[in-house]
Amino acid sequence: MEERNLAISVCLVTYNHERFIAEAIESALMQIVNVPIEIVIGDDCSTDNTGMICQEYSNRFPGIIKLRRPEKNLGATPNFLENIAACKGKYIAVLEGDDYWTDPLKLQKQFDFLEFHEDYSMVHTAKITKCNDEIYKGNYREIRSGFIIEDLLDDNLVSTLTVLIRSEIYNDAIIKALPHAQKYNWKMFDYPVWLEIALNSKVGFINEETGVYRIIPESYSHTLNLKKEYLFGKSYVDIKEFYFKKYLGRNSNVSRRFKYKFRENNFHARKSLLFTYGFMAIGELKILLKTTPWFYFYLIYKKIGRLIAKKITN
């Protein structure tokens, strides 16, 4: 298979996922596509049997699976970056070793979407969430396609395991987001990358469940460690604030309604961090105290309006 004819690269990153990695790899292998694909597995020097399982699959499917193992453990983001650099396809799909796809036509549907919609940089889908064998389905009816930067600033609507992205767009967004993630020590990297992409181009959505996102205890996004939990929540709010300012700097026509709504939501998010984590989140208090007086008047005005509306309704 010539690399220049490669249509889709599946970037599969893993570390100590021996209970799940076979299911993830099988879900990539089951994809029914009419274009050439590769599965690039980045095993970050797992200390369990993950590496052995990946090697077995690599031996069985040498024309499709490319296995890379760094000489030493890199950490989640560096391992992801090296794996992305090894992907040669026109489009890139991302899959972590504890998640898996359920729709064998996922990649084909997304490939067809992006081939037909040349003004779209990426497309994502609905997903199922699994926690301790319990299944949770989300409500995706209101997720839109198009220029969704304001929707994305409101909430991270994109699940990594559901995306297919034009590789040159993806790499460019990673290069732009990485210095900020490192400078501000953000505890997530996918969200700023989606925001970088949405700042400049359209994002598509297919309202079909194509995969399962597995919640595992003691990951950074799902942890019992209060410090880690706070830092993850703080990163989420900080990322929103950073890209909100970037969005305003690029677009002088942002509606006043959106600006007020965003600032109100982020104000309450920081207040919630402070009340939840106390002295650990004292930095949030310093940020809140810098809020201009007029904004407090706005919050009081909104509160009175809600109380009046509630009284009329009752």
Report the distance separating Cα 233 and Cα 128, nearest Å. 22
Exposure b/e, 224-248, CB count within 10 A at least 16 = b: eeeebbbbbbbbbbbbbbbbbebbe
Q: Is 26 helix (H, G, I), strand (E, B) or coil?
A: helix
Report the distance separating Cα 83 and Cα 66, nearest Å. 10
CB 51 within 8 A of CB 69: yes
Q: What percent of the chain has pLDDT over 90?
A: 72
Query: What's the pTM value of the predicted model, to 2 decimals?
Result: 0.89
Helix (H) or strand (E) holding 128: strand 120-131
- pLDDT tens digits, 108-118: 999 999 999 99
Side-chain half-sphere of 201: how many Cα atoms within 13 Å? 21
Q: Average pLDDT of 12-22?
A: 96
Output the DSSP codes for 67-95.
Answer: EE--SS---HHHHHHHHHHT--SSEEEEE
Report the distance separating Cα 220 and Cα 227, nearest Å. 10
Task: For the beta carbon of residue 122, count every other beta carbon within 10 angstroms.
Answer: 26
- pLDDT tens digits, 74-122: 999 999 999 999 999 999 999 999 999 999 999 999 999 999 999 999 9
Q: What is the mean pLDDT of the chain?
A: 90
Over 80: is that where the pLDDT of 135 sits? yes
- pLDDT tens digits, 252-292: 899 989 998 898 899 889 989 988 998 888 888 888 777 66
Name all domains of the chain by residue range, CATH numbers in brackets: 3-214 (3.90.550.10), 226-313 (no CATH)
